[in-house]
């Protein structure tokens, strides 16, 4: 037997008006006009053949039939909402991570499949930027920054310790001039990535007695472009070993100077969060990425 039911808009209008005992407040809740609520209720009363409200000059009141019907409609709506929640796919928690595009491209993205498999309940949104986002103000849930730490009003822990050394394409070495000592770098263009406080070239130069002020430099937007320029033989890049391991193994980039890469204290990629307790989605990502860092060959030093 077919069910004879009133229209859903009429039932919603009646339930809201009966709950508020006001057509105006029901209209505000449902984003319609008071006259639309009144019209829907009148249509429902005509269909039922009974009055649901007593209209007064500045107020409305439920009739006995209206009170009984409101109770039933409310229970029906509650049941409908409960069943809808039961079958609806669970909402995924959104995690916004601010980070350098180069770190995302060369280190994080190749590993993201494992995070998605371990945490399907989290929707990860990577937001590449060279700027220091305001974590306290909610611009992101977590940041991964490159440097030596010491940022104010945040919690920062070293994720990946980095080692650095100048790198070039074999083609640049073939055409010369040769690079046998740090001073020979003055005959080449040094490729720098934009940063509020440049780190790699200044700390490497200070440790190796190289006068960076005399060098010919080319400032590029980010480290991805620096690597592409180095691969194209356009100059010398400061190689971040945490990111360029594959290019060194393949021979696409080489270290022209003898000796091991330099490991400045505290230099690397840092996990940065706002102070205080962390949401579960942030804690889950931190636990996962620390595990990936430990397996990468560039983990942060353990604190005894």
Instruction: Label residue 49 by pLDDT band (50, 70, 90).
Output: very high
Query: Which of the residue ranges 93-97, 139-143, 197-201 would you say has the lowest mean pLDDT?
Result: 197-201
Q: For residue 16, what are the contacts with CB-CB under 8 A and spacing of at least 6?
A: 25, 26, 29, 30, 37
Q: For residue 140, what are the contacts with CB-CB under 8 A and spacing of at least 6?
A: 96, 97, 98, 127, 133
- Bridging pattern class, strands 122-128 and 93-99: parallel
Residue 232 has pLDDT above 50, yes or no: yes
Q: What is the pLDDT of residues 8-31, one digit of tens each?
A: 999 999 999 999 999 999 999 999
pLDDT, averaged across the chain: 91
- The CATH architecture of the domain made up of 8-87 is Orthogonal Bundle (1.10)
Instruction: Label residue 300 by pLDDT band (50, 70, 90).
Output: low
Residue 186 has pLDDT above 70, yes or no: yes
Query: Which of the residue ranges 2-11, 75-84, 259-268 would you say has the lowest mean pLDDT?
Result: 2-11
Q: How far is CA 200 from CA 66, 237, 301, in A?
A: 75, 10, 19
Q: What is the pLDDT of residues 187-216, one digit of tens each?
A: 999 999 988 778 899 999 999 999 999 999
- pTM for the full predicted model: 0.70
The more confident residue out of 150 and 51 is 51
Query: What is the percentage of the chain residues whose pLDDT exceeds 70?
Result: 96
Query: What is the percentage of the chain residues whose pLDDT exceeds 90?
Result: 80
Would you state the pLDDT for residue 170?
96
- Domain spans of the chain? 8-87, 93-162+266-294, 164-250
CATH of 164-250, one of 3.40.50.1110, 3.10.180.10, 3.40.190.10, 3.90.400.10: 3.40.190.10
Query: Which of the residue ranges 83-92, 198-207, 220-229 would you say has the lowest mean pLDDT?
Result: 83-92
Would you state the pLDDT for residue 54?
94
Query: Rounded mean pLDDT of 272-290?
Result: 93
Distance in angstroms (rounded) separating the CA atoms of residues 60 and 70: 14
On the question of a common fold for 93-162+266-294 and 164-250, the answer reads yes
CATH code of the region 93-162+266-294:
3.40.190.10
Q: Is 16 helix (H, G, I), strand (E, B) or coil?
A: helix
Would you state the pLDDT for residue 117?
94
Distance in angstroms (rounded) separating the CA atoms of residues 252 and 158: 29
Would you state the pLDDT for residue 86?
82
Query: Rounded mean pLDDT of 147-162?
Result: 91
Would you state the pLDDT for residue 133?
86
Would you state the pLDDT for residue 156?
93
Would you state the pLDDT for residue 304?
40
């Amino acid at each position: 037997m077919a069910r004879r039911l009133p229209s859903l808009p009429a039932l919603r209008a009646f339930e809201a008006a009966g709950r508020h005992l006001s057509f105006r407040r029901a209209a505000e809740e449902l984003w319609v006009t008071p006259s639309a609520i009144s019209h829907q209720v009148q249509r429902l009363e005509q269909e039922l053949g009974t009055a649901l409200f007593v209209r007064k000059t500045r107020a409305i009141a439920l009739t006995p039939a209206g009170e009984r019907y409101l109770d039933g409609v409310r229970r029906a709506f509650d049941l409908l909402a409960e069943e809808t929640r039961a079958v609806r796919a669970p909402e995924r928690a959104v995690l916004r991570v601010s980070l350098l595009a180069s770190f995302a491209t060369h280190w994080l993205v190749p590993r993201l499949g494992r995070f998605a498999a371990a945490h399907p309940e989290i929707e990860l949104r990577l937001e590449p930027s060279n700027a220091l986002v305001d974590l306290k103000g909610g611009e992101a849930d977590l940041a991964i920054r490159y440097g030596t730490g010491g940022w104010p009003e945040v919690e920062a822990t070293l994720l990946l310790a980095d080692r650095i050394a100048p790198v070039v394409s074999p083609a640049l070495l073939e055409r010369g001039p040769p690079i046998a000592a740090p001073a020979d770098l003055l005959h080449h263009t040094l490729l720098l990535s934009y940063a509020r406080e440049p780190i790699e070239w200044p700390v490497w130069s200070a440790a190796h007695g190289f006068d960076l002020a005399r060098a010919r430099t080319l400032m590029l937007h980010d480290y991805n472009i620096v690597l592409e320029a180095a691969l194209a033989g356009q100059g010398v890049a400061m190689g971040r070993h945490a990111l360029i391991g594959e290019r060194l193994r393949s021979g696409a980039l080489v270290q022209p100077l003898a000796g091991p890469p330099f490991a400045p204290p505290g230099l690397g990629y840092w996990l940065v969060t706002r102070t205080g307790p962390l949401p579960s989605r942030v804690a889950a990502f931190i636990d996962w990425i620390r595990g990936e860092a430990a397996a990468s060959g560039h983990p942060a030093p353990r604190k005894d």
